[in-house]
Amino acid sequence: MCCLHETDHAASGRGRQSLPAGPAPTSSTWKRCPGSSEGVVIFSVPEGCVHPQSPTGAADVIVGAGLSGLTAAYILARSGACVVVLEARGHAGGRTLTRSDDQGPSVDLGATWSWPHQTRIRHLAQTLGVARFEQYVEGDAMLDLGPQGTERHAVRSPMAGALRSEHGAEALSTRLAVALPAGSVKLGVQVTAVQVQGDTVLVTATGRAGEAKTFHASVVIVALPPRLTGQTITFTPELPSALTQVLSATPTWMGHAMKAVMRYDCAFWRAQGLSGFAVSYTGRPLQEIHDASPADAEAGALFGFFTTHTGVRRAPAQERQHQAMKQLGRLFGPAALHPRSYEEMRWKAGAAVQYRTG
Ligand SMILES: Cc1cc2nc3c(=O)[nH]c(=O)nc-3n(C[C@H](O)[C@H](O)[C@H](O)COP(=O)(O)OP(=O)(O)OC[C@H]3O[C@@H](n4cnc5c(N)ncnc54)[C@H](O)[C@@H]3O)c2cc1C
């Protein structure tokens, strides 16, 4: 039978004591499996990467319910494996995060685009029935020169050809999670340690209320940003030093990003022959702006990346919003001053599990 062994801290290991001890683990116990993508480092006991039916009855544990972890879980579950995904935050999706509410169209506070040459994400979107559409790029671009004013240029947005998911990028994560057997994704469980014990792997975690949790796994897939893995999870035996160095040397993509998303009744800039793409020389406060309207353009939306300037990032949120509105008014006219909604997401500060920048 394939099942998850979860115990409280006190009971940790109980019922496992009769397992054969096996050879003493060393750092060479850990294998980085061939085919691991950058975001997914697969650690397994030496027999192989995937144990669809574990001889010990333990589940395949995946750490992190972002797109990588959920995809791994989906593939394993389809092959018949019993999977459990442990997620530190209160919701799945990781850096795909879409705000959908009655304020208007769905908007991405995290990842937005994929590209036509990315065949795996295309296949995933097709499999999950997530429709994609091209980023709107028709029209001129705006340049913000700060005190010197603005300039309009007949320049195409560099995002020409990029694809967006209908209902936002998180739709991919949501559909993956829904496709897993009920209860597979455990939220509010932050993994702190992964330890080989005989022929199983003991995963130690902290629950929402700070309580200790343990899970016995046949295989553990760590699907976290590599640097975060190195910084926050203790491995026993220790990981090989070459791998530790790679983990700490791999920056978390967009880990520093801070976004503002504005929703409007309509994409009024399009009627002015503007694509919604703008760049700011001063980066005060937004340094790059794009159209974020839905595929049917029934409503409008813009999003911008904030500058990394600490003065802007540390300013009170109200002051930052005020500055962003003034900037949008300069670039797109008075209609930009009054969005239906305004929202910010600072990934480092906004994450339940903080991502180191750089
Ligand atoms: C603002 C922004 C814009 C972006 N734009 C794009 C884009 O347009 N196109 C693109 O391709 N990419 C973009 N990215 C990057 C993209 O979002 C990521 O590469 C991708 O989502 C990574 O997925 P992942 O599953 O590997 O990691 P993550 O999404 O980071 O998932 C890791 C998960 O693990 C959880 N976790 C962390 N530590 C623990 C722990 N100890 N125990 C349990 N769970 C833990 C986290 O909470 C998270 O849910 C963007 C990112 C951001 C932030």
Percent of the chain exceeding pLDDT 70 equals 81
Same domain (yes/no): 278, 131 = yes
Residues 6 or more apart in contact with residue 135 via CB below 8 angstroms? 113, 157, 159, 160, 161, 162, 163, 164, 290, 291
319 assigned to some structural domain? yes
Amino acid 287: pLDDT: 95
Rounded to whole angstroms, the Cα distance separating 214 from 238 reads 19
| Ligand 1 pocket residue status of 259, Cβ below 6 Å | yes
User: Is 178 contained in some domain?
Assistant: no
What integer pLDDT is reported at residue 283 of this predicted model? Answer: 80
Say how many domains are in the chain: 2
* pLDDT at residue 275 greater than cutoff 80: yes
Residues 272 and 160 in one domain: yes
Is residue 190 within 8 Å of 205, Cβ to Cβ? yes
Q: Above 70 in pLDDT, residue 6?
A: no
Asked if residue 330 belongs to a domain, the reply is yes
Phi, psi of 64 (to 5 degrees): 105, 120
Same domain, yes or no: 10 and 146: no
Q: Cβ(60) to ligand 1 under 6 A?
A: no
Instruction: Please indicate, yes or no, whether residues 160 and 262 belong to a single structural domain of this protein.
Output: yes
Whether residues 102 and 57 share a domain: the answer is no
**41 Cβ inside 6 Å of ligand 1:** no
Report yes or no on 326 lying in a domain: yes
Tokens at 118, concatenated: 């990315």
Tell me, yes or no, whether 263 and 343 share the same domain.
yes
Q: Are residues 211 and 324 in the same domain?
A: no
- How many CB atoms lie under 10 A from the CB of residue 55? 10
Q: Ligand 1 in contact with 65 (CB < 6 A)? A: yes
The verdict on 140 and 272 lying in the same domain is yes
Strands 185-187 and 83-87 turn out to be parallel
Probe residue for ligand 1, chosen from 122, 203, 224, 305 as the CB with the greatest number of ligand atoms within 8 Å: 224
Going by pLDDT thresholds of 50, 70 and 90, the confidence category of residue 33 is: very low
Express each pLDDT in 122-143 by its tens digit. 999 999 999 999 999 999 999 9
Taking residues 280-287, report their average pLDDT.
90
Q: Based on the fold, state whether residues 105 and 137 are members of the same structural domain.
A: yes
In a domain, 126, yes or no: yes
The alpha carbon of 140 and the centre of ligand 1 are apart by a number of angstroms equal to: 32
Residue at 181 is within a domain: no
Q: How confident is the model at residue 56 (pLDDT cuts 50, 70, 90)?
A: low
Band (349; pLDDT cuts 50, 70, 90): very low
Tell me, yes or no, whether 276 lies in a domain.
yes
**Judgement on whether residues 136 and 192 belong to the same structural domain of the protein:** no
C-alpha pair distances (Å), 32 with each of 47, 219, 221, 240: 12, 12, 10, 10
Q: Single out the residue in 217, 249, 281 at which a domain terminates.
A: 249
> Average pLDDT of the chain?
84
Structure tokens at 355: 């991502």
Q: List pLDDT tens digits, range 172-226.
A: 999 999 999 999 999 999 999 999 998 899 999 999 999 999 999 999 999 999 9
Instruction: Give the global pTM.
Output: 0.85
Specify if 243 maps to a domain.
yes
Higher pLDDT pick, 53 / 61: 61
* 192 and 139 in a common domain: no
Task: Output the domain CATH number for residue 144.
Answer: 3.90.660.10
Q: What is the pLDDT of residue 12?
A: 32
> What range defines the domain where residue 323 resides?
98-165+254-350
Looking at 249, 264, 286, which one is the last position of a domain?
249
What spacing in Å lies between the alpha carbon of 93 and ligand 1's midpoint? 8
**CB 190 less than 6 A from any atom of ligand 1:** yes
Residue 64 contacts residue 96 (beta carbons within 8 Å): no
User: What band does 5 get if pLDDT is binned at 50, 70 and 90?
Assistant: very low
On whether both 61 and 126 belong to a single domain, the answer is no
Q: Is residue 61 pLDDT above 60, yes or no?
A: yes
